[in-house]
Structure 1
Amino acid sequence: MKKLIFTLSLFFTLHVGYSQSMFQKYFVDSTDNAIDVSNFLNAGFGFLPVPMVITEPAVGFGGGLAGVYFHGQKKKEVTTDSTKSFDNNKDLPPILTAAAAMYTSNGTWVTMLAHQGSYHNDRFRYTGAIGYMSINLKYYGGQGLEAGEYSFNMKGFLTFQEFLFRINKNVPFFMGLNYLYFNNNVTFDDQTAETEPLQAETNLGGMNVVTMWDNRNNTFTPTKGIMSVTEFGIFDQALGGDNDYMNFSHRTYFYQPIIKEKLFSGFRLNYEAKWGDYVPFYELPFVTLRGIPALRYQDHNALVGETEWRWQVFKRWSAVGFVGVGYTAPKIQDFNFNQSRVAGGLGFRYLVASDYGLHAGIDVAKGPEIWAWYLTIGSNWFR
């Protein structure tokens, strides 16, 4: 018995010591002894399990789990300051694959497999995703319905595929195509036992021509550079959809350091328009700002401007402030800039992967109607 106890004790001690050693190796930065997942991401084995916290007001509080695999090698660091800037080389953006599942308090659930990466010294970029989902949202009226809150569910299979090509290897300008297909079953439920829910299948199938300029110094948490993307295309029965309409969208993100290693600014401008014989209500552009639920303010045209500022407070920790304004209109000439939707808030960031310049943190925002909080990994302006 003594030998057994001694053997078990020795095994436990060695196991704890080994676990601590492995944790130190993969999750602690030897330069400052802070928590950092860079070494694990660079190790090149297995998927990194990433717990997800969902805080989008439109679907309620929830969570999930993603397995993320980082392909390739770490970036080439070109500065030694706390911004962790990286050369715009073949490793930008990184190649990653993710599988995810999530569930929220209002019954929304999503399962998805996605891949993103750049190839041949960043001459080609690819983003692809397939998923099956059931999403519960609210529609706030329009297209023949009076203003109000209408609960509905979207359920079906979705795939998105995008291929971009860099025309000149020395210029960060890309052109390409993307394709979206959604086999969508929509159900409206008025919560009345005497009536059956209204159900309909409305498939989406659309293709866009894409142009993109991207010289950001980092894809996760940029501190300098511009990303400007324009998409123009068509949704059509020939592409797998049920409705024919046109799509145009433009988004520009501009990042500029103000005080070296201390203060960083970001500016965002988004415009989206859809027009045609019939644009499905859930496809109408809407104001996308922290503090405003998805689909809350919709119309055929939506314009959003936002700025975000980050102050490097101490080592890996920084504070964030942001404010934005959004507008909607049935036609572009009908924008009324005296009727704005304003939202803003504060947050913090922690440099969680220094080799990748990846920051993560929490934002608290106030919109015209609600308070909301968001878990942010990387930039909030992800596309």
Structure 2
Amino acid sequence: MHKQAVTISRQFRKLQPLLWLLLALSTLARGADGNVPPSSFDPTAGQFDMSDMLLHHKGVLPVPDIVTEPAIGYGFGLALLYFTMPSQREQDSVDDGTQPNKVGPPNITGVGGLVTNTHSWAAGLMHFHTWDDDHVRYLGVLGKLDLHLNYYGPQGNANAYQLTGVGVIQQVLFRLGDSPWYIGPRYTFLDSTTRFGPLIPAGIQHFERDLKVGKGGIVIDYDTRDNIFYPSSGTYGELEAELARGALGSDRSFEMQTAKGYHWIPLSSRWVLGLRTDLGFSQGDIPFFAQPYVDLRGVSQAKFQDRNQLTGELELRYNVTPRWSVLGFGGVGRAYGNLHAFSDAPTAFGFGTGFRYLIARKLGISMGIDVAHGPGQNAFYIQVGSAWR
């Protein structure tokens, strides 16, 4: 699925009052008599924890969302996540009751949707699965969307348009021996319809109302994180090279390359520094909505979009207790190549603060809220683990 459609998964991370979130989790964990069963608490630490319920009692983690993204309006969303852990991996893990277990990723099945006051809506299914002691990783996504968005032309003015479509992602990665390197194919497809007003904005070339985008590519991952949700140490990097051709189901021929790297440095037992780099490049007859864009907390999705983009971000975390942590973050980025040269491109920025609670220690899942400020706006996000995906 193209870059714009991928933003739907990120909409499930926005603001929802913490009280509502905890109430939903507590209600889910309660028994028929209204009493909280022992599985809702960590037996080694005596604190609220959903690990046993999610892993052994077929529990579902709800992620509610009040959408506050200016790109698609204001509304409500909900995702339901179901977790399983391969039994051998769970038996091999060390459980001292204080920190997340350093184990491979769990299997995750999710369903979600959102609707906003601009009549935008989206729904999707996803599944992530590992085999052979995390030597094979599979990701599958199926989604349908109907979004009312803005395209920002050379002068930065907003031009309203509607994007509807059905998309799919299929990816399989294979570990190279016992190393932290993975490599494998990815295929994405979107059958889209785009509608503008009576005039097509400046900066859009070869506009087509109905367009199929089919891309195939190679993905290379490097992963030494201590867990995939909220790492305290390690590195995650991904290189991806994709091409769209008629043989892959695409009406346009173009190429895209992306690179992202996240590195977490434990400065002490309480302080963790995170570093992020995100790069995107494109060539050929790429549709305007599929171009790379700057993705930062506090920045409206796809507002800074062009042929290429460069983004950097820092995050500093303080672990107040083994369960609670607070953090501050800030980043900048530029999109350039068609509408602007790099030296003339406007600079996007976003900074803010947030907190997390370790809600499922055995899975390493933390949940919390980030509050961010960007160019002319503020934004709020519910986060499941790290904001970096």
User: What is the TM-score normalised by the length of structure 2?
Assistant: 0.83
Deviation at 1:67, TM superposition (A): 2.8
- The range that moved more, 297-306 or 26-35, is 26-35
**Are the equivalent residues in 2 in contact too, given 1:127–1:162 (CA < 8 A)?**
yes
Q: In structure 2, which of residues 322, 325, 328 is the aligned counterpart of residue 321 of structure 1?
A: 328
Which amino acid counterpart does residue 84 of structure 1 have in structure 2? P
Identity %: 32
Residues 1:167 and 2:180 are matched in the alignment: no
Deviation at 1:132, TM superposition (A): 1.2
Q: In structure 2, which of residues 33, 53, 64 is the aligned counterpart of residue 19 of structure 1?
A: 33
1:1-383 correspondence to structure 2 within 5 Å: 19-21=33-35, 23-45=36-58, 47-72=60-85, 73=87, 75=90, 77-78=93-94, 80=96, 82-87=98-103, 92-142=104-154, 147-168=156-177, 170-189=178-197, 200-260=209-269, 262-276=270-284, 278-330=285-337, 334-336=341-343, 340-382=347-389
Which amino acid counterpart does residue 181 of structure 1 have in structure 2? F
2:335 & 2:360 partners in 1: Cα distance? 38
> Which digits, 9 at most, give the CA deviation of each residue in 1:207-232, with x for residues without a partner?
11111111111001011111111011
**Are the equivalent residues in 2 in contact too, given 1:327–1:339 (CA < 8 A)?**
yes
**Are the equivalent residues in 2 in contact too, given 1:223–1:257 (CA < 8 A)?**
yes
Q: Alpha carbons of 1:339 and 1:294: their partners in 2 closer, same or farther (altered >3 Å)? A: closer
- Structure 1 unaligned blocks of 5 or more: 1-15, 192-197
Which amino acid counterpart does residue 345 of structure 1 have in structure 2? G
Which amino acid counterpart does residue 140 of structure 1 have in structure 2? Y
Q: Secondary structure at the match of 2:375?
A: coil
Which amino acid counterpart does residue 182 of structure 2 have in structure 1? F
1:78 & 1:338 partners in 2: Cα distance? 50
2:31 & 2:140 partners in 1: Cα distance? 41
1:358 & 1:57 partners in 2: Cα distance? 28
**Are the equivalent residues in 2 in contact too, given 1:25–1:39 (CA < 8 A)?**
no
> Which digits, 9 at most, give the CA deviation of each residue in 1:315-341, with x for residues without a partner?
42211100001012207x953399532
Runs of 4+ that moved beyond 6 A: none
1:171 & 1:363 partners in 2: Cα distance? 34
2:165 & 2:44 partners in 1: Cα distance? 48
Q: Secondary structure at the match of 1:202?
A: strand
Q: Give the aligned CA root-mean-square deviation in angstroms.
A: 2.4
Q: Alpha carbons of 1:250 and 1:354: their partners in 2 closer, same or farther (altered >3 Å)? A: same
Q: Secondary structure at the match of 1:203?
A: strand
Which amino acid counterpart does residue 185 of structure 2 have in structure 1? L
- The range that moved more, 59-68 or 175-184, is 59-68
User: What is the TM-score normalised by the length of structure 1?
Assistant: 0.85
Highest Rg: 1 or 2? 1
Of structures 1 and 2, the one scoring higher in RCO (CA 8 A, sep 6+) is 2
**Are the equivalent residues in 1 in contact too, given 2:101–2:361 (CA < 8 A)?**
no
Deviation at 1:106, TM superposition (A): 2.1
Task: Count residues in correspondence.
Answer: 349
2:142 & 2:150 partners in 1: Cα distance? 24
Deviation at 1:269, TM superposition (A): 0.3
Q: Alpha carbons of 1:82 and 1:110: their partners in 2 closer, same or farther (altered >3 Å)? A: same
Which amino acid counterpart does residue 231 of structure 2 have in structure 1? P
Q: Secondary structure at the match of 2:362?
A: helix
**Are the equivalent residues in 2 in contact too, given 1:113–1:131 (CA < 8 A)?**
yes
Which amino acid counterpart does residue 247 of structure 2 have in structure 1? A
